[in-house]
Structure 1
Amino acid sequence: MSRSPALVIRNLRVRTVSVPLRLPLETSGGTIGMAPLVLVDLDTEEGVTGCAYLFCYTPLILRPMASLLVELGEVIQGAEAAPRSLEAVLQRRFRLLGNKGLTAMALAGIDMAAWDALAKASDLSLVRLLGGEPGPVKAYNSCGLGLIGPDRAAEEAVQLLEPGFRAIKVRLGYPDLRTDLSVVRAVRAAVGDDIVLMADYNQMLSVPEAIERIQALADEGLYWIEEPTNAEDYAGHARIREKAGVAIQMGENWWGTREMAKCVAAGASDLVMPDAMKIGGVSGWQRAAAIAGAAGLPVSSHLFPELSVHLLAVTPAAHWLEYADWAEPVLETPVRIEDGHAQCPDLPGAGIVWNEEAVERYLVQ
């Protein structure tokens, strides 16, 4: 890893935006039509600014998240922008409260922004700062394809392949198994046998229901099935996995690597897909990659494609990047897709640069 110059934190600037999705996502938990984002700018005395964003899932927590980050900005003002040191200081602050939810998200945002600042100060892309080289990472399109029925799902699936993807993900969890089967078969008929097709139940099934449905889907050519039951039920997922006949994918709801380690130890998943924000930012991802490597588990990403393309490029067991364009409207340089691969940019930092005109348009006061 390259040696980075010392940077001193001057302040933390925080803005909230609500960005309309090009393809609203209808899941068993509700429809996502807007992306509520918190934009984080970590300014340093040396004139370098590190950038990151947090996906808040619901606009209800935009203000609480922004307020928490503003308070934390005062805590770290004057400190060195050294991610591991910052993490240690902030973790101590929340030891009694615990590090999940808003707290974990805020700390991850600071971590990601600090790593971005260090890479920029070193005039290196994040992947090079972490000791790797930029290169293509295979990606699947995870935009849209929610619970919209067989006909619309088939049409949308073809649309999602147009940018050059060779893999897409469909959400399942219809009121009955018959509809799940109809949707998968309609999508497969529309895209052909050469396209990789993943599926996600978004935790909506009981363990017995999951076993029944996944066994029925076992011959439909699905590459993996995500979180068929409650994400915290590792024993339940292990039971499902034993009888599935399809690879089980978990990880997007792990709050830190301790939860990941428990899940892996329980044998709950064939594959892993940490979320850069929930796992602990860049620093947390590095620990997660080590756990996955020791267990021999392929590592995919969840959301945050701009950052994840760098992280996967330095992950030995890198598998798939989940592409979602939810933040693209407020970015100057979105992730570029070529031949089904996300291209890792070789520019200083993680490549997150705000489109200020768009930020102003979608700003939430």
Structure 2
Amino acid sequence: MSVSGLLTITGLDVRAVHVPMRLPLQTSSGAIHIAPLALIDLHTQEGVTGRTYLFCYTPLVLKPVCAMLNNLAPLLQGMPVAPLEINRALHARFRLLGAKGIVGMALAGLDMAAWDAFARAQAQPLARALGADLLEIRAYNSCGLGLIGADLAPAEAEVLVSAGFSAIKVRLGYPELATDIQVVRAVKAAIGEGVQLMSDYNQGLSVPEAERRVRALADEGLCWIEEPCAAHDYAGYARVRAASTTPIQMGENWWGPSEMAMCLSFGASDLGMPDAMKIGGVTGWMQAATLADAAGMPISTHLFPEVSAHLMAATPTRHWLEFVDWASPILARPLQIRNGHACLSDTPGTGIEWDESAVGRYLVP
């Protein structure tokens, strides 16, 4: 049902859940077995509720993020659901502190929830509210396939492909370069030539070691090499990019479009993959998409596939959607993947609705 005029915010509900991951993920920085999610419900006087979630990486951060969101709730009371104005006002509050870390996560969550409510009020999917059409967005399966070795990786890769995907991602960063190469070759042998393989180092290498490894991986047929070294070292990335014939991917750790612009100025990466949360929610993403379009940079997504699929529809240089099913157990209608593509429905907003019985099982007291 369409609601005329702007909505008025009446309150915010925030809940913390620990959702078990179907395939635990072992990276160079540690193992992830659960998805610590902050669930956000933005309520309005008109009865429309905007929903989203934040992935908090570690349980250590989940409660502080929820606390920050609750601290911001009184500032929202009585505000109209005008996402750009909400974003401007909240960022102004944190001009001296800066909008990174827990603050940035909370602001992005509110932005995504506000845009969801805005689209719902128009009875439009978020993609259409952003001026785009409903598209099928090609996706790669990023669930699992962590640092599990060449003996186990092929079987897990086959599981990921069996869901109908034409691309998957493997994590690298073993102590020895030879193991990286062995794993890549074992996975490619298992999935066949028709499936593309992305790789991710999760910032695990020094710049000199990254230069050495990208050269060694040049003939392995990888779609891209992601975050080989520390994400903030744009000058280092420019060196790695110059040493690589495989495209270098980064961007999930851009805190806002300004950091993306700085990265572009260094020529640090061939490809970009903003994170909907770290880039600043829907508002930050659209700014990032404009930068990418001007630079001719292909843009993929990082996590949050339910929201990111809509953002990709509105992104001129869209490349790949990263699919993870980490929130699926607590969603009433998980994102549908058909033939390796995310299928946007005409459900208003992002389509996020909670499976309340599942939320109750995973609720953090």
Normalised by the shorter chain, which TM-score bucket?
over 0.9
**CA deviation after TM superposition for structure 1 residue 4, in Å:** 6.8
Is the counterpart of residue 349 in structure 1 residue 320 in structure 2? Answer: no
Letter in 2 for 1:197: L
Q: Distance in 2 between matches of 1:322 and 1:4?
A: 35
TM-score (normalised: structure 1) = 0.99
Q: Distance in 2 between matches of 1:102 and 1:345?
A: 32
**Residue 78 (structure 2) aligns with:** 78
Q: Distance in 1 between matches of 2:320 and 2:158?
A: 20
Letter in 1 for 2:245: G
Contact 2:274 2:301 (C-alpha < 8 Å) held by counterparts: yes
Secondary structure of 2:333's match?
coil
**Residue 232 (structure 1) aligns with:** 232
**CA deviation after TM superposition for structure 1 residue 5, in Å:** 2.8
Is the counterpart of residue 57 in structure 1 residue 69 in structure 2? Answer: no
Identity of aligned residues (%): 60
Contact 2:36 2:62 (C-alpha < 8 Å) held by counterparts: yes
**Residue 19 (structure 2) aligns with:** 19
Listed as ranges, the matches of 1:49-198 within 5 Å are 49-198=49-198
**CA deviation after TM superposition for structure 1 residue 76, in Å:** 1.0
**CA deviation after TM superposition for structure 1 residue 132, in Å:** 1.0
Secondary structure of 1:15's match?
strand
**CA deviation after TM superposition for structure 1 residue 115, in Å:** 0.5
Q: Distance in 1 between matches of 2:80 and 2:141?
A: 38
**Residue 272 (structure 2) aligns with:** 272
Q: Distance in 2 between matches of 1:273 and 1:288?
A: 10
Change (3 A) 1:3 1:209: farther
**CA deviation after TM superposition for structure 1 residue 57, in Å:** 0.3
- Runs (4+) of structure 1 exceeding 3 A deviation are none
Contact 1:4 1:119 (C-alpha < 8 Å) held by counterparts: no
Q: Distance in 1 between matches of 2:211 and 2:7?
A: 52
Letter in 1 for 2:20: P
Change (3 A) 1:174 1:8: same
Contact 1:289 1:315 (C-alpha < 8 Å) held by counterparts: yes
**Residue 256 (structure 1) aligns with:** 256
Contact 1:28 1:202 (C-alpha < 8 Å) held by counterparts: yes
Secondary structure of 1:278's match?
coil
Q: CA RMSD in A?
A: 1.0
Contact 1:5 1:118 (C-alpha < 8 Å) held by counterparts: no
Change (3 A) 1:4 1:60: farther
TM-score (normalised: structure 2) = 0.99
Letter in 2 for 1:351: G
Listed as ranges, the matches of 1:250-329 within 5 Å are 250-329=250-329
**Residue 223 (structure 1) aligns with:** 223
Q: Distance in 1 between matches of 2:106 and 2:9?
A: 16
Secondary structure of 1:279's match?
coil
C-alpha distance after superposition, 1:58-100 (max 9, x if no partner):
0011111111101101111111111111111111111111110
Q: Distance in 2 between matches of 1:175 and 1:161?
A: 27
Contact 1:42 1:51 (C-alpha < 8 Å) held by counterparts: yes
Q: Distance in 1 between matches of 2:4 and 2:131?
A: 12
Number of positions where the alignment pairs a residue of Structure 1 with one of Structure 2: 364
C-alpha distance after superposition, 1:155-196 (max 9, x if no partner):
000000111100000000000001000000000110111110
Letter in 2 for 1:82: A
**CA deviation after TM superposition for structure 1 residue 314, in Å:** 1.1
In the alignment, structure 2 segments of 5+ residues that lack a partner are none
Contact 1:333 1:353 (C-alpha < 8 Å) held by counterparts: yes
Contact 1:25 1:146 (C-alpha < 8 Å) held by counterparts: yes
Letter in 1 for 2:47: G
**CA deviation after TM superposition for structure 1 residue 3, in Å:** 10
